[in-house]
Amino acid sequence: MKICLIGNMNNNHYVMAKMLRKRGIDAYLILYDNEYKYFLPEHEDTELKDNYPDWIKRVHWGSARSFFLTKSSIVRDDLDNFDVYICCGYGPAFLQKAGIEKYIFLPYGGDLVYLPYPVEQLKSGGFIKGFLRIFHSPHLFFLSLLQKKAIQKSKAICIVLVDEYFIEPLKNLEICDKIIQLGLSIDTEKFSSISVHSYLEGSKDENFRRILSLKNKSKLIVFSPTRHFWTAESIRLDRISNKANDVLIEGFANLPVDSDSLLILVEKGPDVIRSKKLIQTLGIENRVIWVPEMPRENLIQYYLISDISVDQMVPLGYGSIALEVFALSKPLMTNIADNFEKISQRPLPPILNISTADDITNFFTDFIRDPEKYRIIGKNARTWVEKYHGYGLIDDYIQLFHHISEGKDLNDFKKPDK
């Protein structure tokens, strides 16, 4: 079976393609012309820089601007002879343009929530900015309409968690019957305690070496790689952008000065300066270390040296940060919606579920008192992620591929019991 994964939001499709190939599936990855640099395969596996295997191909289309400039024949030639396609971004519109029908849509968020709607394009980032964007790029208006129709024609739509962020768009698009709750995969072999020992030896990262020198003196090391995006001015239409980093900073600041605690933050996102000002106001600069944005692969050493890792503070599902932390058998602090188990049809992952600064402070204080409890939580998280996002998930996708390639009704598709 030949599978084509199109687009590479946060390297999700690259990881899936790599794991599918280990399962004997002939999987290929197509990189759009506008892939963000941190969505390129070398951000996941640094040895791939300028040296892609033959199953990865870059194309000169995929962006909104290239849609009307790209001939259908070019898209067909680039995507010839596959059994099933998986896409994100404007992938559905391009596949419809090429006359390709057997595709699965695996949205990252905005490509489902506001790209199919011209009015939401106008509102995105503020009405005036949206209007100017449409005025200078009228093709966006028409492309939104095509994206909507293309999503509706997809054979299946895979979403990790159908929470309130997705519910209204899914109803508006009349595609609720196409939803399969399968989502992000993680290479659990890569993120394992056995294969990452080298990250703790001989690192040339000066920030990491500094933290390593403080490890024995610290009762608690906290790491948050989440981008800083929390002020009212920054929060756009898509609620998923709001990480509420200020809540983490305030919760950490509540720890007493003599707690021997350390917070590691990544200089990433539009609110880094605001976060630094908040840290200064709270008087905790000497307990915070900033590190530069880096490839995902380099984050591993920071996950490993920390006691607790932290993701967003707003009630959502979870993303790649959570999966990486789980796979490394580390405890994660985040905010997962209360109705997660009901709507996801799988158990809540072993996490430190928080919603307020007080929750954060209490967990940190409890860790200092009983760290072994949190090591057990980390081990349980590893078991959970192997089942729901490791090769167990890949096997579910393979079953779905066969189902679609054989032209079977999606209503007859049943995931294996977990």
Residue 16 near residue 7 (C-beta atoms within 8 A): no
Residue 190 lies in a domain: no
Q: Directed axis angle between helix 391-405 and helix 12-22, to 10°?
A: 80
Residue 418 lies in a domain: no
Better-scored residue on pLDDT, 314 or 185:
185
Residue 27 near residue 17 (C-beta atoms within 8 A): yes
Residue 133 has pLDDT above 80, yes or no: no
Give all strands of the β-sheet with 84-87 in edge-to-edge order.
56-58, 26-31, 2-6, 84-87, 103-105, 156-158, 179-180
308/399 same-domain check: no
CA distance 319 to 336: 11
Kindly state the percentage of the chain with pLDDT values over 90: 55
- b or e along 319-357 (b: 16 or more beta carbons within 10 Å of the residue's beta carbon)? bbbbbbbbbbbbbbbbbbbeebeebbebeebbbbbbeeb
260/131 same-domain check: no
Residue 417 lies in a domain: no
Residue 230 near residue 260 (C-beta atoms within 8 A): no
CATH number, residue 82: 3.40.50.2000
179/31 same-domain check: yes
Q: Give pTM, 2 decimals.
A: 0.78
> What is the domain extent for residue 355?
197-386
Per-residue pLDDT band at 418 (split at 50, 70, 90): very low
Residue 260 lies in a domain: yes
Residue 191 lies in a domain: no
77/118 same-domain check: yes
Q: What is the pLDDT of residue 137?
A: 61
The type of residue at 251 is G
pLDDT per position as a tens digit, 277-320: 999 999 999 999 999 998 877 888 899 999 999 998 877 678 78
Q: What is the pLDDT of residue 243?
A: 86
Backbone angles phi, psi at 134, to 5 degrees: -65, -40
Question: What tokens does 166 get?
Answer: 């997705």
301/396 same-domain check: no
* Structural domain total, the chain: 2
Please provide the DSSP assignment of 228-242 as one string: ---STTT--S-GGG-
Residue 379 lies in a domain: yes
Q: What is the pLDDT of residue 56?
A: 97
Residue 279 near residue 170 (C-beta atoms within 8 A): no
38/52 same-domain check: yes
Sort 16 into a burial class: Cβ within 10 Å, 0-12 / 13-18 / 19+: buried
330/240 same-domain check: yes
Residue 130 has pLDDT above 80, yes or no: no
Q: What is the pLDDT of residue 189?
A: 84
209/358 same-domain check: yes
pLDDT per position as a tens digit, 73-112: 999 999 989 999 999 999 999 999 999 999 999 998 888 8
Mean of pLDDT values over 12-22: 96
Q: What is the pLDDT of residue 381?
A: 95
pLDDT per position as a tens digit, 218-270: 999 999 999 999 876 655 545 556 888 999 999 999 999 889 999 999 999 99
211/338 same-domain check: yes
Better-scored residue on pLDDT, 344 or 272:
272
380/269 same-domain check: yes
Residue 192 lies in a domain: no
209/337 same-domain check: yes
Other CB atoms within 10 A of residue 286 CB: 9
Residue 265 lies in a domain: yes
pLDDT per position as a tens digit, 146-174: 999 999 999 999 987 776 777 777 888 88
CA distance 188 to 173: 35
CA distance 39 to 8: 6
Cα 300 to Cα 23, 199, 203, 272: the distances in Å are 25, 7, 12, 22
Residue 400 has pLDDT above 70, yes or no: yes
CA distance 85 to 3: 6
160/209 same-domain check: no
